Structure 1
Amino acid sequence: MQITPKREIGAWPLLFTGLGSIIGSGWLFGAERAAVLAGPGAIIAWLIGGCVVLVIAGIAAELGGMFPVSGGAVRFSRASHGGLVGFISAWANWLAIASAISVEAEASIQYMSSWPFSWTQGLFHDGELTPVALLMAGVLVVVYFLLNFWSVKLFARSNAAITVFKLVVPALTGIALIAASFHPGNVSGATAGGFLPNGAAGILTAVATSGIIFAFNGFQSPLNLAGEARNPDRTIPFAVLGSVALAFVVYVLLQVAYLGAVDPGQVKAHGWSGITFSSPFAQLALAFNLNWLAVLLYFDAFLSPSGTGTTYMATTSRMIVGAQRNGTAPAVLGRLHPVWGVPRPALWFNLGVAFVFLYFFRGWGSLAAVISVTTVICYMLMPMAALTLRRNAAHLRRPIRMPGIGILGPVGFVMSSLLLYWARWPLTGEIILLLAAALPIYVWYRRNASRAELMSDLRCAWWLVLFLPIMALLSFIGSREFGGIGLLPYGWDMAVVAVVSLLFCFWGTRSGLADPQVDDMSSPDADLAETTALH
């Protein structure tokens, strides 16, 4: 029997899937984390991050329209550059979103630590969740799993209802805080420390690691559910670009509200880097006697991350299916339930992985930084795939064509490379090492490939194999403002990264291949064709 994903998700539910992924725990903590690193300059950090993501999302929308298949986001690089680049892309992408399942559950429990009850006070201590809190977070992860277990229709309907509420509460929070207490000097920098207390480097590091990139990464969720979308030619671009645009407005509003609401006396006494909260917006609401808002925020602290965690549980399982179709995951993980059309083995696998991340990362901030940097590597590879396919597969149907991709594609790659550099050494090197550690998995699953296939994979991947270590080296010898040893002076370091990444962009674009799979993947019935081939 042929089992294929059911195309049951319409345009608005797909938009809510993207929006629900973007507005998760990021809105609860992102504004505070960005302010710690950049002060009032955090507003600029959100603007930079939003512009970069809009470019990447536009490119991703073109790719998603071309390839309306399950796990689409992990398959674009496989189509453009073969097995090795496809594996690295899939691993980075899956790692970023699979770990986000845990961070969303942690965010909900961390917010509980500021509830006015004695039993909640000990849930978060010294920047980490306690064992009891981790157990509670584990229960939430199981709830995310169960909401995906039965059918994609149940997931889509529950997520749409949750997301409407998730969009209203952050917007209402920003407006209420601005109305209750707004100090213009905080926003302008007149209160203390100036507009850029940590210089431009603080803004750039905030873009990369404070949760800004992490928050926006949810735009990939519609791409990974493309195999279950009705009329994917229209619904995918609508969902991807619409979710980013709406979330961008909400996040900038929240950042302005947070900056304006903080007590100027605290800013003068401690500086922005010394002001931290366990539950930022809820604690500010209580300080202004907005008890109704605090109660709403405590409720939404469960709802927003849980909606995002549920979405990520859905999309990561489709990523596993995509990896299995790429030939780099066990066949059992690509199986779909004969009645519900849901990849249950992949769901079980991701549930186990989520528990592992809960154990090793016990606070929102530490895991959000890791996710952000891993996400950046995913962003790099999307412009490369789109540029290469424009060159090698010009005949493919493109329901949406990104205008000016000859310029915006290289810009997207260079900006993603700079984001990786801005994440600071040693985090940059650690994430690249984490990607390299997964290569034995690729070797295992390609062990039966012919010599010609392996050489083709390597020939198409040399640019990336060399680029990542070179980026780690540039991070290490870069300016002290970004954690390096200072061999490259500040300013010149970013120029070097930009030039090097541009050269690799041109090399990578010309290293692609005309993969025979792309014609099958671009069909609206691609999942049916692939399932038939598997049987």
Structure 2
Amino acid sequence: MTAPTARIAGEESARDQGLARGVGLWSFTFSILNGVVGAGIVALPASMAAAAGGYAPFAYLAVALVMAAVVVCFAEGGSRVPTSGGAYGTVEAAFGKGAGFLAGIYMWLASVLACGGIAAALCDALGALVPALAGVGPRLAILLLILGGISWINVRSAGLAAGVIAWGTVIKLVPLGLFVAVGGLALLVGHDPAPAAVAPQGGHFSEAMLLALFAFCGMETPLGASGEVADPTRTVPRATILAMLCVLVLYVAIQVVAQGLLGAALAGSAEPLADGMRQISPALGLVLLAGGILSRFVWIGSDVLGAPRVLFAFARDGMLPAWLGAAHPRFATPHIAIWVHSAIAFALAATGTFTRLAILSTLATAGLYFLACAAALVLRRRGVAILGTPLSFRILPLAAGMGMASMVVLVAIARIDEILAFVGLTFASLALYAVMRPRIARAA
């Protein structure tokens, strides 16, 4: 074992101490699938059509090629450092605690921005179902009720929150399968698309690609449980590749069916899946609308269960103020981190739209993916392999180069205000790390 490998193995084994490696291939595959197929896909077909018109499926395919390169890097990096934290662990192993901190911040930012976007979309869905709920006052009340209620459940009991999410996760996949199956059958028998009052403008393929990347994001969250995966050098990469292939097929199918059912009207739909099903049956439309609302609710619950733990862990490691690492004296949950995360998501949802928040979340994820691709190259060059023989893809240098270049391009094609916000947050995160560094050294 090389010296870098021995040092990293010691650090990572300490992180995973006490964890049982009992998660197998299929359970981990479905975990990644669930993490990627979030609530955003319920509203995304309309945003994609508004940006790229009938070319929206090609945006998914283009981003899938980029994601294939990123998945190769995640797969090899994860097989070399199969530790709790996923990308955060591989980046820290390759570049040190400062880069690891930045990767963790990117993960959290992507989560809280996505949470705000999904919460905003949930309000839009409820407004479509009950027009009286579409105003500003009802919107704020809905956000307070949903985010406050989910946060309260998480503060009271993580086990209860996880149980609710588990059942909701099974239920949320049913409407998606129903939409593809019933809608696809209707198209095969000659369904005519709905008329549109205004034709979509399209012509913003770059925005469609950013939105498509948002749809593909999420694998980094379940990969954070790599420290509990059986035979991780084989299971982690195989599960990642299988899950992402399934995601691509599902997303393209949903977009194609939505375009076939709604035609030019898709771009202006607030609830594209529900509106598409209404073309076939009003009852099925209500089922899809209810399923979309439930899917968003479940995703927010999952986010509030997991993402605040990043703030909590950073605070416990000395990387953020200590008060964020406080545990509730009665319920033994990270209550302050939960409320802080939810309060930020509330402010984002109250002031932003799904599309804009989704793109900002994508930029944070692009930063994380760039670091993860670079980390895979560095870990190979150093010969790091802390648990068995790792994967060694011949195309890794090409994949890492393609992945890093693509992330730079995807950030560059965003709006200037979005780019400035991303750059500002990056420098603010690095400045925060510099301020907290003495405390981190003492905690170590």
State the TM bucket, normalised to the shorter chain.
0.7 to 0.9
Cα 1:449–1:430 change in 2 (3 A) is closer
**TM-score, normalization by structure 1:** 0.69
In 1, Cα distance between the equivalents of 2:105 and 2:38? 23
Q: Supply the distance in 2 between the matched residues of 1:227 and 1:338 (Cα, whole angstroms).
A: 28
Q: How has the CA–CA distance of structure 1 residues 131 and 319 changed in structure 2, closer, same or farther, with 3 Å as cutoff?
A: same
Aligned-partner Cα distance in 1 for 2:250–2:436: 43
Of residues 172, 178, 184, the one that matches 2:178 is 172
Q: In the alignment, is residue 60 of structure 1 matched against residue 50 of structure 2? A: no
| Counterpart selection for 1:282 from 274, 278, 292 | 274
Check whether the contact 1:73–1:220 (CA below 8 A) recurs between aligned residues: yes
User: Can you list the C-alpha shifts for 1:43-91, whole angstroms capped at 9, x where unaligned?
Assistant: 1101112232233233223334444444333343222222433333222
CA drift of 1:142 comes to 3.5
Name the SS for the 1:262 alignment partner.
helix
**Take 2:255 and 2:16, find their aligned partners in 1: how far apart are those partners?**
46
Alignment of 1:110-149 (within 5 A): 110-115=124-129, 120-124=130-134, 130-146=136-152, 148-149=154-155
**What are the within-5 Å matches in structure 2 for residues 105-254 of structure 1?**
105-115=119-129, 120-124=130-134, 130-146=136-152, 148-149=154-155, 157-181=163-187, 198=203, 202-208=204-210, 211-227=211-227, 232-233=232-233, 236-254=236-254
Q: Does 1:10 align with 2:23?
A: yes
Which residue is equivalent to 1:367? 357
Counterpart pick for 1:323 among 308, 311, 314 = 314
Structure 2 distance, partners of 1:58, 1:339, is 44
User: 1:33 & 1:256 partners in 2: Cα distance?
Assistant: 14
Q: Tell me the distance in 2 between the aligned counterparts of 1:337 and 1:230.
A: 32
The yes-or-no answer on 1:99 pairing with 2:113 is: yes
Task: Tell me the residue number matched to 1:32.
Answer: 46
Q: Which residue pairs with 1:352 in the alignment?
A: 343
Distance in 2 separating the partners of 1:326 and 1:394 = 24
Provide the rounded CA distance (Å) in 2 between the counterparts of 1:318 and 1:232.
23
In the alignment, structure 2 segments of 5+ residues that lack a partner are 1-14, 194-198
Of residues 73, 94, 98 in structure 2, which corresponds to 1:80?
94
Please say if residues 3 and 336 of structure 1, whose CA atoms lie closer than 8 Å, have aligned partners that are also in contact: no
Higher mean displacement: 379-388 or 71-80: 71-80
Letter in 1 for 2:436: Y
RMSD of Structure 2 on Structure 1 (CA): 3.6
Letter in 2 for 1:172: L
CA distance in structure 1 between the partners assigned to 2:254 and 2:281 by the alignment: 16
Q: How far apart are 1:252 and its partner, in Å?
A: 0.4
Q: Using the alignment, how far apart are the partners of 2:429 and 2:411 within structure 1?
A: 19
CA distance in 2, matches of 1:41, 1:155: 39
Higher RCO, 1 or 2 (CA under 8 Å, sep at least 6)?
2
Alignment partner of 2:287 out of 287, 292, 296:
296
Aligned ranges 1:428-447 → 2 under 5 Å: 428-447=419-438
Residues 263 and 255 from structure 1, CA distance in 2 versus in 1: closer, same or farther, beyond 3 angstroms? closer
Q: TM-score, normalised by structure 2?
A: 0.81
Alpha-carbon distance in structure 2 between the residues aligned to 1:283 and 1:76 = 43
CA contact (8 A) 1:325 1:334 kept: yes
Cα distance in 2 for partners of 1:390, 1:76 equals: 11
CA deviation profile, 1:358-410 (whole Å, cap 9, x unmatched): 3432x212211211222111111110111111112435336652512122111
Structure 1's 383 and 341: CA in aligned 2 closer, same or farther, altered over 3 A? farther
Q: Structure 1: where are the runs of 5+ without partners?
A: 187-191, 267-271, 451-532
Structure 1: distance between partners of 2:296 and 2:433: 33
